[in-house]
Amino acid sequence: MTATTLTALSEQLERGELSSVEATRDYLGRIEAHNAALNAIITVTAEQALADAAAADARRAAGEAGPLTGIPLLHKDIFCTNGVRTSCGSRMLDNFLPPYDATVVARLKAAGAVMLGKTNLDEFAMGSSNETSYYGPARNPWDLRRVPGGSSGGSAAAVAAGFAPAATGTDTGGSIRQPAAFCGITGLKPTYGRVSRLGMVAFASSLDQGGPMAATAEDCAMLLQVMAGFDPADSTSAEYEVDDYSGGLAADLSGLKIGLPGEYFGEGLDAGIETALRAALAEYKALGAELVEISLPRTHLAVPAYYVIAPAEASTNLSRFDGVRYGYRCDAPEDLLDLYTRTREEGFGDEVKRRILVGTYALSAGYYDAYYRKAQQIRRLIQQDFLDAFDSVDVIMGPITPHPAWVLGEKTDDPVAMYLEDIYTLGVNLAGLPGMSIPAGFADGLPVGLQLIGPHFSEARLLNIAHRFQLATDWHTRRPTL
């Protein structure tokens, strides 16, 4: 029987109880059986995966194995994979076969991981529900009528459903943490610049960050160890030493100061979620932590600032999709303008087009100061709120979302309502901080995530704080029945 965590699987492989080929077959079998219902994976690379698994087994036999050698995993379909379709959940890139690997993909490959396929996502990562995907929405394995969250919904659903022990995700405004919360798994959004963005198709360059999604903090630590690090090909990559993420997991939490922002526990937070979170916080108290009331006074401004900055950056990041060098091109363009406007009309979905238009508007002459510049100023104020808070606490905790996973279609007609669901996660991206979601109970039978936010480059500490909780609780071991 294949283990349910990355850490346990790594030990099984190490002990020779299981081969990588066997584990890979096992996961591929589960994908085969259940992906039709979940739609979590867009592209399955079964043949290549089995070949890579066999090669990994051979390396292990030759005594050249590392902790990730032969570990099957999934990549969000926004990380470029050499020769394997990278669609970004868009018709625009439905035929796109990148001639290169993203740095994250290359690092995991070099560490011996075996790619099983590419997971579903909101189109170009723009969405909080996975419903904007050209390939149709992924579904929440806890309740197939509900969304798995987004944009890394496919990765979260796949890990929760046992399609793989881990997956990569990206988080621009909560896209790792929110689906991790909705699907009951652990997800880490690292400090901006900690993980290379090269080959990760850009949504909003100053906010995007790749990170691991897995069952436990321990698993995330193993993945992040490989994913993190300076990349000279990404100018925004941090030249900052990578910590030993696994080494400090067990450290004691006594004296830990946990800040609880009043703004995160106020009006609008679902009662069931609050109950679960209060219980989780009580657990931390039992582990020796101290709970401190704090304030992040500009929390309410995160949504407006984010929904200017992210669309503005996206509007120009997506200009390269013009039907000239790769990707979708409209049929029989009459002239150059027709090539552009029809390719982009037909290639992009509604939400992406809306955001491009909002972003174009925010940057256009006469509006730049009132929108883009203003949002960047507010961004600094929001970052300052966090930095001030970290003067007195070690970590900030709160909800990931105001409500648990909603029913498919419930919010699609009201983009603003959907945007407001991101209120607790956006600040972390605006400030460039690391954030995590860890399973912390259930509300109405649906998973609840607890958010952990730390100072810049405090990933090791966050993972330690998450791991100690997971040693004391078993929420992270709960799995949906498929």
Positions marked active-site: 76, 151, 175
Verify binding: residue 297, another protein, rule CB under 8 A. Answer: no
Going by their DSSP bridges, the two strands 210-214 and 166-170 should be labelled as: antiparallel
Q: How far is CA 273 from the centre of its chain?
A: 21
Q: How far is CA 248 from the centre of its chain?
A: 23
Binding mask 318-337 for another protein (x = CB under 8 A): -xx-xxxxxx-x---xxxxx
Nearer to another protein, 364 or 477 (CB): 364
Phi, psi of 334 (to 5 degrees): -70, -40
- Considering only the stretches 32-40, 129-137, 148-156, 204-212, report the one whose residues sit in contact with another protein under the rule CB under 8 A: 204-212
3-state secondary structure of 436: strand
User: Tokens in use for 267?
Assistant: 């009006």
Q: What is the total count of residues that contact another protein (CB under 8 A)?
A: 100
User: Tokens in use for 243?
Assistant: 């910590």
Least distance between another protein and beta carbon 316 (Å): 5
Verify binding: residue 388, another protein, rule CB under 8 A. Answer: no
Q: Answer for the pair 242, 274: CB distance below 8 angstroms, yes or no.
A: no
Q: Where are the beta strands (DSSP E) in 27-159?
A: 41-44, 72-76, 114-119
Nearer to another protein, 145 or 320 (CB): 320
Verify binding: residue 241, another protein, rule CB under 8 A. Answer: no
Give the closest residue to 170 by CA, choosing from 184, 185, 156. Answer: 156
Using CB under 8 A, which residues numbered 100 to 129 contact another protein? 100, 102
Q: Answer for the pair 113, 75: CB distance below 8 angstroms, yes or no.
A: no
Please select the residue that binds another protein; options are 233, 250, 286, 482, rule is CB under 8 A. 233
Verify binding: residue 304, another protein, rule CB under 8 A. Answer: yes
Binding mask 345-374 for another protein (x = CB under 8 A): x--x----xx-xxx-xxxxxx--x-xxxxx
Least distance between another protein and beta carbon 143 (Å): 28
- Considering only the stretches 50-58, 151-159, 300-308, 474-482, report the one whose residues sit in contact with another protein under the rule CB under 8 A: 300-308
Least distance between another protein and beta carbon 435 (Å): 13
Using CB under 8 A, which residues numbered 125 to 184 contact another protein? none
Verify binding: residue 379, another protein, rule CB under 8 A. Answer: yes
Using CB under 8 A, which residues numbered 445 to 464 contact another protein? 456
Please select the residue that binds another protein; options are 13, 28, 38, 80, rule is CB under 8 A. 80
- Considering only the stretches 87-95, 218-226, 390-398, 473-481, report the one whose residues sit in contact with another protein under the rule CB under 8 A: 87-95
Verify binding: residue 189, another protein, rule CB under 8 A. Answer: no
Q: How far is CA 439 from the centre of its chain?
A: 15
320: how many CB neighbours lie within 10 A of its CB?
Answer: 12
Q: How far is CA 60 from CA 63, 68, 406, in A?
A: 5, 11, 44
444: how many CB neighbours lie within 10 A of its CB?
Answer: 12
Please select the residue that binds another protein; options are 193, 259, 261, 480, rule is CB under 8 A. 193
Nearer to another protein, 334 or 474 (CB): 334
- Considering only the stretches 50-58, 174-182, 231-239, 468-476, report the one whose residues sit in contact with another protein under the rule CB under 8 A: 231-239
Least distance between another protein and beta carbon 343 (Å): 8
Verify binding: residue 195, another protein, rule CB under 8 A. Answer: no
Label residue 356 left, alpha or beta by phi (over 0 means left) and psi (-120 to 50 means alpha).
Answer: alpha
Sequence-distant (≥ 6) Cβ neighbours of residue 110 within 8 angstroms = none
Using CB under 8 A, which residues numbered 392 to 451 contact another protein? 414-416, 419-420, 430-433
Q: How far apart are CA 458 and CA 292, in angstroms?
A: 19
Sequence-distant (≥ 6) Cβ neighbours of residue 466 within 8 angstroms = 186, 217, 220, 436, 438, 452
